[in-house]
């Protein structure tokens, strides 16, 4: 057996891949951002010519991409979720079902809308388990938020069937799956609304930014009101027949919109490259009995920037991860924050402890709420088991054939050593 000093790793070159989004910054971003500065219009509602607004053009692009009747640009993915929930009429007294594995913002958005998050299991796709979703429905359930985690589409056929049969609103969280699809249909186009993020860690970025798409006229009108506390006073509100109410200021600036617009023009090209890379690697490790690949409800719709596979036990996953790192391939596990704590329900401290901004009045203890949701760190053991046995390798559109071959050889070598 080789010692540490004798060991020759598969890959000796550094793994130097940057973020999916900002690595693509180029002339298109410079042209559009400088164009905003030259127009001296950094606030989208300055002037009546909508065609001069990058935010309006961004909305038009996503209407075309998703086939939605309406699109509303906002300043973050969280703002998109909150605006969609408020737009759909979700509020005090309501429960909203969310998966146990998602960025904490999904649950936070529910709380900001003054509703109560109900946490359910993820399955071997690491997205919401439809059976767990249905089992969690109560008389107080108003909506469900399926989250297309790490670019992987949820089991939307099952989720939509259950939601339709039980009268539950569906708000899709597409923050991590821009450019993904399910059975040929764009993610974000299934629910009452779809919510996108343009934060820097996403496939395309504006630094910060988000967007809501919907075919629901009322939801769109209410989301408009909520995303801008003065919306009812602007000229473009003339056709909005919804009664006004207090809102936030979630507007997207023209500079951020310009970045998102330039980046969004590359989505399909980037996703196409990522899919080829992931398909190459997975095809070469399918035969390994030591590992089990993550279930992908629709492989053709996977954004494909993350390769996940499972080992039989958590201890074996940690051992495999260590050996794979020795072979020169960075990877993540639940033990080294490869599945970041802020994405795992048991670490959402303020949710677990039912703590709001005010001790006297929270969504859990307000007079409108008649339910009795309970949380505990052990409440979703299936999710924790999948995450505990999982290993993830981040993929990048700039990976070469040699890079893919290094990943393949390292995984196969590590599997053989076990």
Helices 401-417 and 267-285 sit at what angle, rounded to 10 degrees?
30
Residues 328, 10: Cα–Cα separation, whole Å = 6
Question: Could you tell me if 319 and 418 are in contact, meaning their C-beta atoms sit under 8 angstroms apart?
Answer: yes
Task: Classify residue 196 by its DSSP letter.
Answer: E
Residues in Cβ contact with 91 at an 8 Å cutoff, skipping those fewer than 6 apart: 113, 114, 115, 368
The distance between the two most distant Cα atoms of the chain, rounded to a whole number of Å, is: 77
The residue written with tokens 């930014």 in the block is 209
Between the two ends of the chain, the Cα-to-Cα distance in Å is 13
CA distances for 366 relative to 92, 95, 105, 357, 372, angstroms: 7, 13, 21, 13, 12
Sheet with strand 70-74: strands edge to edge: 70-74, 210-214, 193-197, 169-173, 141-144, 95-99, 116-120
**Catalytic residue selected from 30, 50, 142, 202:** 202
C-alpha–C-alpha distance, residues 392 and 294, integer Å? 10
202 belongs to the catalytic site: yes
Per the CB < 8 A criterion, the answer to whether 274 and 397 are in contact is yes
Tokens read off for 403: 């890079």
The helix or strand, by DSSP H or E, that contains position 210, with its residue range, turns out to be: strand 210-214
Alpha carbon 140 to its chain's center: 25
Report phi then psi at 298, rounded to 5.
-145, 95
Q: Does residue 80 contact residue 323 with C-beta atoms inside 8 Å?
A: no
Q: What residues are labeled active site?
A: 202
């Amino acid at each position: 057996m080789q010692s540490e000093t004798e060991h020759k790793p598969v890959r000796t070159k550094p793994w130097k891949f940057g973020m999916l989004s900002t690595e693509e910054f180029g002339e298109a971003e410079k042209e559009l951002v400088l164009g905003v500065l030259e127009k001296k219009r950094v606030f989208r509602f300055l002037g009546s010519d909508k065609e001069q607004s990058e935010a309006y053009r961004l909305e038009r692009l996503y209407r075309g991409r998703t086939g939605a009747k309406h699109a509303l640009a906002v300043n973050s993915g969280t703002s998109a979720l909150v605006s969609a929930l408020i737009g759909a009429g979700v509020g005090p007294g309501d429960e909203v079902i969310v998966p146990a594995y998602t960025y904490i913002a999904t649950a936070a958005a529910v709380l900001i809308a003054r509703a109560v998050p109900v946490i359910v299991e993820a399955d071997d796709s690491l997205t919401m388990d439809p059976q767990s979703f249905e089992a969690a429905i109560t008389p107080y359930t108003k909506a469900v938020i399926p989250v297309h985690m790490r670019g992987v589409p949820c089991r939307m056929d099952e989720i939509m069937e259950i939601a339709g049969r039980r009268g539950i609103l569906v708000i899709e969280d597409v923050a991590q799956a821009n450019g993904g699809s399910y059975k040929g249909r764009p993610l974000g186009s299934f629910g009452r609304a779809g919510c996108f993020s343009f934060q820097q860690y996403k496939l395309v970025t504006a630094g910060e930014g988000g967007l809501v798409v919907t075919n629901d006229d009322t939801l769109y009108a209410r989301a408009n009101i909520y995303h801008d506390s003065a919306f009812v006073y602007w000229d473009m509100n003339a056709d909005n027949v919804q009664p006004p109410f207090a809102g936030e200021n979630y507007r997207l600036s023209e500079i951020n919109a310009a970045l998102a617009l330039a980046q969004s023009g590359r989505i399909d090209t980037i996703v196409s490259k990522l899919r080829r890379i992931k398909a190459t690697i997975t095809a070469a490790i399918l035969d390994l009995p030591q590992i089990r690949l993550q279930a992908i409800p629709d492989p053709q719709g996977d954004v494909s920037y993350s390769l996940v596979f499972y080992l039989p036990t958590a201890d074996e996953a940690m051992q495999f991860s260590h050996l794979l790192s020795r072979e020169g391939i960075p990877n993540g596990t639940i033990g080294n924050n490869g599945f970041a704590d802020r994405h795992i329900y048991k670490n959402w401290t303020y949710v677990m402890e039912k703590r709001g901004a005010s001790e006297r009045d929270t969504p859990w203890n307000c007079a409108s709420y008649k339910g009795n949701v309970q949380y505990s760190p052990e409440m979703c053991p299936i999710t924790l088991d999948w995450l505990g046995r999982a290993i993830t390798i981040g993929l990048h559109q700039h990976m070469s054939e040699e890079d893919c071959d290094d990943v393949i050889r390292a995984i196969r070598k590590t599997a053989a050593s076990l």
